[in-house]
Amino acid sequence: GQDAPWWRDAVVYQIYPRSFADSDGDGVGDLRGITARLDHLADLGADVLWLSPVYPSPQDDNGYDISDYQDIDPVFGTLADFDALLAGVHSRGMKLVMDLVVNHTSDEHPWFATSRLGPDSPMRDWYWWRPGRPGGGPPNNWGSAFGGSAWQYDDISGEYYLHLFSRKQPELNWENPKVRQAVHAVMRWWLDRGVDGFRMDVINYISKDVTLPDGVTFPGSVHNGAEPHFVSGPRVHEFLQEMHREVFAGRDAQLITVGETPGVTVADARLFTDPARREVDMVFQFEHMDLDAGADRWQTRRLDLRDLKRCLGKWQDGLADVGWNSLYWNNHDQPRVVSRFGDDGRHRVASATALGTLLHLHRGTPYIYQGEELGMTNAPFAGIEDFRDISALGNYAHAVEVEGRPADEVLAVLRARSRDNARTPMQWDATAHAGFTTGTPWIAVNPNHISINAAAARHDPASVYGYYRRLIATRRAEPALVHGDFTMLLPDDERVYAYLRRYAGTEVLVAVNVGGAPAPALVGPGWAGAEVLLANTGAPRFDGATLLLGPWQAVVLRRP
């Protein structure tokens, strides 16, 4: 515990600037809006703010398509606004992490504009250009995450370029050392400006199999089976170690580096996060986000709690001796957890706080996504015209028009799973547009802001916000919850999620009823008299060695 890196007991709060707070009435959130709301985050107990991208961008993928890495998009403000935000964050003892999107750029980045000039361009090999197949068609069968081929034909040279996301997000060619050096220079520039680290977008996609073989499609693939040819590819560890040497060496103790790594395995994650290897501090894995996926992308199923235990338990064990976990339910790409795994009706507050407890007290660094601390829910999207996300719109068009799927079935899945569920404006108060903007919001505010909002929650200890404050403070004050080992209990119980954390003679029991019916849990003798660190719906009740949990009840007990 003594020599542990600072970020082990930290809590990270993710801000999606477009949807957080709008200071100038244009309907899009901005940096000054964030600066004005920093006390909300400091009072919650957040240590680190992670900002989704605010760089100049055509906003094809809401800023994940960057056209200039060293400035701020006018829609979000200026570099001076950024410096003011950073000063406000630091003056409250918090840190700021930038989103670094360097697997791809915007097609409007000057690097790509130059690369596109033709095969003789000095920057041609900064991206992946290939001729079509003999007889016509794209170079291989790889698919874009947003629907259709991952290759875009370019008239200027008669060649195709690779884009695993939108056609406005061409893939950078990390094989080229000049690309890597340019990225390192950008990163050093932001660190010199005072930022405290990076969340690195799809950083395990940067090394491709350079022969670009066809994929063999499999259920759940979003890239038509191409994943094995670019997920955690042959040179990715070499590239990250080089980045560490070139960018972080000498100042890494103060920083936090997080790799977003879809499709990562436990074995890969150990390599990415083993401190001795000097790659990144922690990764985001996605296995628990796939547990409610159906047979293909357009089917869903109910979460089986035993699958969640197997999954999170495997990650706890896999990163127990080396490495570290990121703990999250939500981000800007996921539906709201209270609607997804909880009960956003009658048991909204209890289920939101139960799920928060279940997640945060695992071994790892917890992440809170804006609005999660209020128990914000999925949005009531009526038709496709209510969605804004390029992924929702692109995949809808592909599923309905190309694959011929019924529109209402596709819409039903989008309502449950669309990224736009996370992107409706932050609910600050009960006024028009939830206090997010005085103008017209870029995406509709959830009508339930009348009752679910920060103003109502802040002074109510029984709110989700009040509970999250206690949860964060409790975790920080108890070394066993940060540094302790982890033991899963009751692996076959379909209703109760329970585990132990142990450290230096202290033992903490976390037990959560993941459902709306009472549930008994045989936790073993000796807990009935234990100290209650947290309880979301009232004091724990025991029958001997059995804990009698009420609907969505979460309890945290400590002994001795």
Segment holding 554, helix H or strand E: strand 554-559
Q: Which is nearer to ligand TEU, 165 or 272 (CB)?
A: 165
Q: Which residue is nearest to ligand TEU (CB)?
A: 64
From candidates 22, 61, 227, 268, binder to ligand TEU by CB under 6 A: 61
Cα 50 to its chain centre, rounded Å, is: 10
Identify whether the C-beta of residue 21 lies closer than 8 Å to the C-beta of residue 438: no
Residues in region 410-439 near ligand TEU by CB under 6 A: 419
Q: Which residues contact 113 (CB under 8 A, 6 or more apart)?
A: none
201 binds ligand TEU (CB under 6 A): yes
Is residue 145 close enough to count as binding ligand TEU by CB under 6 A? yes
Q: Which is nearer to ligand TEU, 75 or 145 (CB)?
A: 145
Q: Give me the least distance between CB of 462 and ligand TEU, in Å please.
A: 33
Task: List residues bridging with 325 in a β-sheet.
Answer: 283
Q: Is 46 in the site for ligand TEU (CB under 6 A)?
A: no
Q: Is 549 helix (H, G, I), strand (E, B) or coil?
A: strand
Which of the residues 98 through 127 are near ligand TEU (CB under 6 A)? 101
Binding mask 202-221 for ligand TEU (x = CB under 6 A): x-------------------
Could you give the angle at which helices 236-243 and 266-273 cross, rounded to 10 degrees? 20
User: CB of 465 within 8 A of CB of 483?
Assistant: no
Distance of CA 486 to the CA centre of its chain: 23
User: Residue 531 catalytic?
Assistant: no
Q: How far is CA 109 from the centre of its chain?
A: 25
Please identify, using beta-carbon distances, which residue of 165 and 239 lies nearer to ligand TEU: 165
CA nearest to 171, candidates 190, 145, 148, 189: 145
Q: Beta strands of 343-387 (E only): which ranges?
A: 365-369
| Tally of CB atoms within 10 A around 219 | 10
Element of type H or E holding 241: helix 236-243
Nearest distance from C-beta of residue 432 to ligand TEU, angstroms: 29
Q: Which is nearer to ligand TEU, 265 or 438 (CB)?
A: 265
Say if CB 25 and CB 437 are below 8 A apart: yes
Residue 161 has a CB neighbour count (10 Å cut-off) of 22
Residues between 476 and 535 with contacts to ligand TEU, criterion CB under 6 A: none
Kind of pairing between the strands at 485-489 and 496-503: antiparallel
Residue nearer to ligand TEU on the CB measure, 201 or 343: 201
Per DSSP, what are the bridge partners of residue 98? Answer: 51, 198
Closer residue to ligand TEU in complex, CB, 43/290: 290
Which tokens hold the place of 306? 């035993």
Choose between 442 and 527: whose C-beta lies nearer to ligand TEU: 442
At position 538, the amino acid (one-letter code) is G
State how far the Cα of 121 lies from the Cα of 143, in Å rounded to an integer: 27
Binding residue (CB under 6 A) for ligand TEU from 88, 262, 375, 484? 262
Q: How far is the CB of 74 from ligand TEU (least distance, A)?
A: 21
Query: Is 200 one of the binding residues for ligand TEU (CB under 6 A)?
Result: no
In the residue annotation, 307 being an active-site residue is answered as: no
Give the integer Cα–Cα distance in Å for 127 and 172.
5
Is 7 or 328 the residue whose CB approaches ligand TEU more closely?
328
Shortest CB 436 distance to ligand TEU, Å: 20
Provide the sign of the torsion angle of the four alpha carbons 31, 252, 182, 283, taken in this order: negative
What are the tokens at 234?
A: 């042959």
| Minimum distance, C-beta of residue 317 to ligand TEU, in the bound complex (Å) | 24
Give 404's contacts (C-beta < 8 A, 6+ positions apart). Answer: none
Using CB under 6 A as the binding rule, whether residue 165 contacts ligand TEU is answered as: yes
Counting contacts by CB under 6 A, is residue 222 touching ligand TEU?
yes
Does the footprint of ligand TEU cover residue 15 (CB under 6 A)?
no
Name the amino acid, one letter, at 147.
G
Give CA–CA dist 151/162, Å, rounded: 5
Return the residues of window 313-342 that contact ligand TEU according to CB under 6 A.
332-333
Q: Smallest Cα–Cα separation from 145: which of 129, 126, 166, 176?
A: 166
- Provide the minimum distance between the beta carbon of 414 and ligand TEU in the complex, in angstroms, as a whole number: 11
Catalytic entry in 260, 268, 279, 373 = 260
The site string for ligand TEU over 376-415 (x = CB under 6 A, - otherwise) reads ---------------x------------------------
* Least gap, CB of 220 to ligand TEU (angstroms): 10
Residue 246: name the closest of 183, 174, 184 by CA: 184
User: Shortest distance, CB of residue 384 to ligand TEU, whole angstroms?
Assistant: 16
Residue located via tokens 């404050």 = 469
Residue 320 vs 402, nearer CB to ligand TEU: 402
Check 201, 344, 389, 478 and give the catalytic one: 201
Which residues on adjacent β-strands are paired with residue 153? 160
State the catalytic residues.
201, 260
Using CB under 6 A as the criterion, which residues of the chain lie in contact with ligand TEU when the complex forms? 61, 64, 101, 145, 165, 201-202, 222, 260, 262, 332-333, 391, 419
